[in-house]
Structure 1
Amino acid sequence: MPSLPAWPSRAVGRLLVVLLALLAAQGGTGVDAVTAARSEATTTTTPAHTATPDRLRYDVTLRGNADGSRWTGRQRVSFRNSSDRPLREMYVRLWGNGVDRCGTPGAPPPVEVSRVSGGTAGRLSVNCTALRIALPKPLARGERAVVAFDVSIAVPERNNRFGRDGAFRFLGNALPVPAVHDAKGWHLDPYVSTGESFYALAGDFRVAIDHPRTLKVPATGRTWTRPAKPGRSLTLSVAHQVRDFAWAAGPFSTATETTPSGVRVRSYWAPGTNAEGVRLTRQDGAAAVDRFGEEFGRYPYGEIDLVMTSGFGGGMEYPGLVLLGTTEEGSAVVHEVAHQWWYGIVGNDEYGAPWLDESFAQYANARFYGWETRDCWSEVEWPSDETALANSMAYWAGHPGEYHFLYTAGPCALADLERTLGADTMARLLKQYARDHWYGVSSTAEFKKAAQSVTGKDLNPFWKLHRIR
C-alpha cells in the first residue's frame, strides 16, 4: 500500500473525508446561448458509432407515501437515434436494484417497471438492473421514439446513496435511465458498490413530485414547491442537460444563498447535524461552485442542493445535488461539487474509465484547498504491474484495496502534468477540454491527445510513468 501524499494535516483530513465517501458508497429553467451552442457542438457530428440514444427528454410524475419510503408514478422518455445504424431496441438501467439484485421471494427488487408502452419489454437481466425494450420498428438515424412505463420505488433500509438515514430518504440512481450504445455496443456493465457503474448521456428532465407537506424535497434542477391537496405539496423540477435525476426527502432544516456569480445554493440538513460542519459545508460549497465555474466554465444549472446528515457516510454526487456526511470538520463538499464538471458536464463512462471523474474531481479539490502536491508522486508505490490509473471498474471492483489510487495517485499525476506543461497551460487545457466536451463524453485517449496538442514535449514517457494507458 502506498503512503498518502505529504499534504498538510488539514488537507489529509479533507482527503480522509473523501476516502470515507468512497467507503460509504460501497454498501435555471434553461441554458444560456453559449451553453446551448456548446450542446449543439457535441451532437452535430454523428459518426456511425456515435453514442446513442441521445437528445433525451424525460417527463416524470411521482407520488410519495407518508414518510417518503415509497414512490410510484409514470415515466416517459423521448429519444433520438444519432447513429448511422438503425436502432431496433433500447435498454433501461434500473441501477436502484444494484445492491439487492432481483430481490428474494416475498421481497421484490426496490425498483420495478410495468405497463411499458412504445415497445415490448423483455426480461430483466444483469441482476435486474437492465430491461430490454424492443422497438416497434427500426429507428433510423435522426428519428425519435418514445417509451413510457410505470415505476415503483421502495427505498431500501440501508444508509446509502439509495437508502435512508432515520427519517431521511436518499433517492440516488432510483429513476431508470437509458443505457448507452456506442462503438463498443450496448453498455450493460454490472453494478459495483465500490465506485460507480453509471454511464449516461445528458438529457432534459421535467419532474413533478407529489409529497407530504411535512417533507422537504431537494432535487436535481431548478425547483419550486407549491401547495397541493390537503396535507401535501407539489415540488416541480426542470433540469436541462443532466445525466441523472436524484432527490431526497425528510424533515430537513433549510437555508438558501446566492453566490457572487448568481448560483443559488440550497442547503438541507437533518436536525442533529453538527452546526459548525453545516456552516463549513455551506461556505465551501458556495465558494467551490464559483471557483470551478471560473476554472472550467460557468456552472450552467442555476441551482445546486447540498443535502447533509451526520449519519451518511462520506458523499455522493448527482447533477445539481450532492449527499454529504457532515461532521464538525465539514464534509467532502468541494470534491462532490467538482463532480458537477467531472462526470456531470464533462461526461465519461464511469465504469470504463473512473479516473476521468474521480481523479479530476480530487485534483480540483486539492487546488481549491491549496494542498502541496509537489512531491506526492514520489510516494506512489504500485502494488502490481496490472495497477494503472486508467483501469476500469472491472479491475477496481476486483481489487477494492487499491481503489484509493484514483484519489491519491490520480490527482498527483494531474499535478505532475501541471508542472510538466506549466500552470497557465494546464489551466487553459482543462478549460478548453471542458468546453470541447461540454455535455458530451470524455475518454482517456481524447484527454491525452488534448494534452499533447498544447505542448511541444513528447508526453508518451509521462503517460507511461503515471500509468495512464
Structure 2
Amino acid sequence: MNKRLILIIVAVLVALGLGVGAWLYYGQADTPAATAEPVTYSGYDFPASAKEIDWKDREIFKAGLVDSAVGSLKDLSRASTYYISLEIAPDLVSPIKGHQIVRFFNTEKGALTEIYFRLYPNFQGGKIEVSHMTLDGGAMIPSLESADTALRVDLKDPLQPGESLVMEMDFELSIPTEMGGNYGLYGYFEDVLVLDTFYPMIPAFDENGWNKQTPQNNGDLTYTDASFYIVQVKAPADLVLASSGVAVDQQIKGSTQTTVFASGPARDFYLAGSRKFVEINEQIGETLVRVYTRPEYSVNQAYALDYATHAIEILSRQVGEYPYTEFEILSSPMRALGIEYPGITSIVVDEFVDGVELYGMPSEQMLESTLAHETGHMWFYNTVGNDQQNQPWVDEALVQYMTYIYYLDRYGDGDGYVESWKYRWSRVENADIPIGLPAGEYHGAEYSGIVYGRGPLFFYDLENKYGLDTVMSAVQSYYQDHLWGNGTTEDIRAALEDACDCDLSAEFEDWVYEKPYVE
C-alpha cells in the first residue's frame, strides 16, 4: 500500500472521529495461542450490616494487587470503602435492587457540612432511586440537584478533618434497552448488560468544592478519589460476569450465582455480563489478562489478548508497573470505540468481528489502536485521576501520546499514529483552540479534533524541542508524584518544566490555556 493511499484512509477514519494506529505502516501482530484457565476463589462472607464490618481489615484487597502495589493499602487508610450488594433478575432488564454501605473520611483541611453522591444512571437513559438512607444509624432525608445527578446529604454536625462517618442506603436501578446519554454505556443491549457508574458515588472535593455539576455533553463523567470496593452480585448462574477487581468468592445454588468482587484502590467500580461471553486469558508477570466476547469472534478475541498483553508490558516498563493482578477486556455495543474503567475496558463489538473492514481498514487493526489507548487509561484516569469533565486533556491527550509510545516501543516507529492526530486537528481547520478547556466548551468536531488531535501534538512538539527522554521523564514523575491522587493541568506543567529545566509559559499559553477575550 503506498503512503498516499494510507494517508487517505487515515483521513477518512479520523473524519469519522475514529482512532487509527501505527499499524498502518507496520503490519499486524501474529495471532497468539490462548486458552481459558479455571479461576479458583478463596472464599469470603459478605457482611449483612455495617456492624459486621471491620473497616481496618483490608487483607481481601491483596488478591487484586501486584506485590509493588500492596503498600497502597496502608498509604490510603482513609480512602472511602464501599460495600455494595446487587440482585440481577434472570431477564437482566428488570429493576436491579441494590444496597450500599460506605465509610467516608474527611481528608480536607476544613470541616464539611454536606456530602454528595453522584447518580449517573439518571443521565444515561436509565434511573436510580435511593431510599432508606441512614447516617451512622440515623435516618437522613437527602435532596436532588444537578438534573437529578447529584444527591445532597446535609450533615447534622459538621464533619471535622480526619473524622469519618458511615452511610447506608437502598437503591433501585432501571435498566434501559435503548442507548441513552454518555455514549450508551449503561443498559442492556444485544445480550450484554453494562453497568457504568451505576451506584451512588461520592465525587471528588477540590478547591472548587464538591464535583456536583450537571454532566457536560462531551467527555467521560467521573471525577473521584481512589476508593475500595467489595461488591456482592446475585445473578443467574449462566451469566458470565466481567468486572473491576477480582472475584474472591463464588457460590452457585440451583440457577443462581452469588459472586463477590474486591477492587481497590480504584476510581470506580464497573460490572458487565452476558450469557454469550466466552473467555480466553494469558498470564503476563503477576497479571492475568482476560478477554470476553461471543464465540463467533474468537479470531479478533485472540488479537485483543495479544494487544492487551503487549500494552500492559510496554506501559509498565515505560511509566510504572500495572497495579492489578487482572486486566479484563470485553466487547459490547456502544456509541464510542471504547471506554475505560479500573482494571477493565469495554471495546465496541464491531471491532471484534473478523474478516470485515470498518471505515476502510481491517477490524483487527482498528482494535489494536482502540485497545492500546484504553489500556493507557489504566495509568492516567485510574491510578492517577483527574477532572475528566473540566480538564479532559489531562488524561485523554496524555493517553493519546502514550498510545504513540506503545507503537514506538513495539514497532520502532510511531509516525502513523502521529498522522492521525494531525488529521483530527485538520478537521477543525487547525483552529487555535486551547486543549485545556472543559469538555462542554468544545462544539461539534472540536472535542475530537482538539483534545485527541491537537492535545497529543502538544506533547509531540515538546518531544521535538527537548527530546523523548525528557518528555517521558516528566510523564514518569507526574505518575509517581500523583499515584492514587488526582492530577491537574498545573501538575503536568510542573513535571514538564522540572524535566526540561525550563520555563514553558509560552508553550502553555500557545497550546493549553484559554485565551483572554478580546472585543
Q: Does 1:304 align with 2:349?
A: no
- Once the two structures are TM-superposed, the CA of residue 348 in structure 1 deviates from its matched residue by 0.2
- Once the two structures are TM-superposed, the CA of residue 271 in structure 1 deviates from its matched residue by 4.5
Q: Does 1:364 align with 2:402?
A: yes
Q: 1:295 to 1:40 in 2, by over 3 A?
A: farther
Could you say which residue in structure 2 is the equivalent of 1:321? 344
Could you say which residue in structure 1 is the equivalent of 2:148? 128
Q: 1:338 to 1:349 in 2, by over 3 A?
A: same
Segment of structure 1 superposing worse, 310-319 or 122-131: 310-319
CA distance in 2, matches of 1:17, 1:79: 45
CA deviation digits over 1:289-340, x for unaligned, max 9?
A: 1211111111112111101146764111111111111243232111111111
- Once the two structures are TM-superposed, the CA of residue 254 in structure 1 deviates from its matched residue by 2.6
Could you say which residue in structure 1 is the equivalent of 2:170? 150
Which residue among 447, 457, 466 is the counterpart of 1:421? 466
Q: Does 1:255 align with 2:279?
A: yes
Q: 1:21 to 1:462 in 2, by over 3 A?
A: closer
Q: Does 1:74 align with 2:74?
A: no
Q: Which residue identity is paired with 1:141?
A: P
- Once the two structures are TM-superposed, the CA of residue 94 in structure 1 deviates from its matched residue by 0.5
Could you say which residue in structure 2 is the equivalent of 1:278? 301
Could you say which residue in structure 1 is the equivalent of 2:393? 355
| CA contact 1:180–1:200 (8 Å) conserved in 2 | yes
| CA contact 2:439–2:447 (8 Å) conserved in 1 | no
Q: Does 1:234 align with 2:258?
A: yes
- Once the two structures are TM-superposed, the CA of residue 200 in structure 1 deviates from its matched residue by 0.6
CA distance in 2, matches of 1:270, 1:378: 35
Q: 1:174 to 1:9 in 2, by over 3 A?
A: farther
Q: Which residue identity is paired with 1:447?
A: I
- Give the secondary structure class of the aligned counterpart of 1:65: coil
Q: Which residue identity is paired with 1:260?
A: I
- Once the two structures are TM-superposed, the CA of residue 418 in structure 1 deviates from its matched residue by 1.9
Q: 1:126 to 1:227 in 2, by over 3 A?
A: same
Report the TM-score, using the length of structure 1 for normalisation.
0.85
Could you say which residue in structure 2 is the equivalent of 1:401? 445
User: 5+ unaligned residues in a row in structure 1: which ranges?
Assistant: 1-5, 23-27, 45-53, 101-108
Q: 1:346 to 1:195 in 2, by over 3 A?
A: same
For residues 219-230 of structure 1, the aligned pairs below 5 Å read 219-224=243-248, 226-230=250-254
Could you say which residue in structure 1 is the equivalent of 2:30? none
CA deviation digits over 1:89-133, x for unaligned, max 9?
A: 100000111134xxxxxxxx5211111010623221111111011
Query: Which structure has the greater CA radius of gyration?
Result: 2
Segment of structure 1 superposing worse, 276-285 or 79-88: 276-285
- Give the secondary structure class of the aligned counterpart of 2:166: strand
Which residue among 428, 434, 437 is the counterpart of 1:388? 434
CA distance in 1, matches of 2:15, 2:272: 22
| CA contact 1:165–1:312 (8 Å) conserved in 2 | no
Which residue among 132, 135, 138 is the counterpart of 1:115? 132
| CA contact 2:347–2:371 (8 Å) conserved in 1 | yes
Q: Does 1:345 align with 2:383?
A: yes
Could you say which residue in structure 2 is the equivalent of 1:446? 491
| CA contact 2:10–2:420 (8 Å) conserved in 1 | no
Q: Which residue identity is paired with 1:390?
A: G
Could you say which residue in structure 2 is the equivalent of 1:51? none
CA distance in 2, matches of 1:67, 1:17: 39
CA deviation digits over 1:262-304, x for unaligned, max 9?
A: 21111110344x4332222221112111211111111112111
For residues 187-226 of structure 1, the aligned pairs below 5 Å read 187-224=211-248, 226=250
CA distance in 1, matches of 2:226, 2:5: 36
- Give the secondary structure class of the aligned counterpart of 1:297: coil
Q: Which runs of 4+ in 1 moved over 3 A?
A: 6-22, 30-41, 309-313, 373-386
Q: Which residue identity is paired with 1:29?
A: A
Segment of structure 1 superposing worse, 304-313 or 349-358: 304-313
- Once the two structures are TM-superposed, the CA of residue 87 in structure 1 deviates from its matched residue by 1.4
Could you say which residue in structure 1 is the equivalent of 2:194? 170
Could you say which residue in structure 1 is the equivalent of 2:17? 19
Which residue among 456, 459, 462 is the counterpart of 2:504? 459
Q: 1:395 to 1:222 in 2, by over 3 A?
A: same
CA distance in 2, matches of 1:260, 1:150: 39
CA distance in 1, matches of 2:175, 2:229: 21
Report the TM-score, using the length of structure 2 for normalisation.
0.78
| CA contact 2:103–2:164 (8 Å) conserved in 1 | yes
For residues 259-270 of structure 1, the aligned pairs below 5 Å read 259-270=283-294
| CA contact 2:329–2:347 (8 Å) conserved in 1 | yes
Could you say which residue in structure 1 is the equivalent of 2:315? 292
| CA contact 1:29–1:239 (8 Å) conserved in 2 | no
Q: 1:374 to 1:97 in 2, by over 3 A?
A: closer
Q: 1:21 to 1:113 in 2, by over 3 A?
A: farther
- Give the secondary structure class of the aligned counterpart of 1:138: strand
More helix by share: 2
Q: Which residue identity is paired with 1:268?
A: Y
Q: 1:10 to 1:334 in 2, by over 3 A?
A: farther
Which residue among 181, 185, 206 is the counterpart of 1:182? 206
- Once the two structures are TM-superposed, the CA of residue 10 in structure 1 deviates from its matched residue by 11
Q: Does 1:29 align with 2:52?
A: no
Which residue among 482, 488, 498 is the counterpart of 1:437? 482
- Once the two structures are TM-superposed, the CA of residue 431 in structure 1 deviates from its matched residue by 1.3
CA distance in 1, matches of 2:499, 2:437: 25
Could you say which residue in structure 1 is the equivalent of 2:360? none
CA distance in 2, matches of 1:454, 1:343: 22
What RMSD, in angstroms, separates the aligned Cα atoms of the two structures? Answer: 3.0
- Give the secondary structure class of the aligned counterpart of 1:462: helix
CA distance in 1, matches of 2:268, 2:485: 14
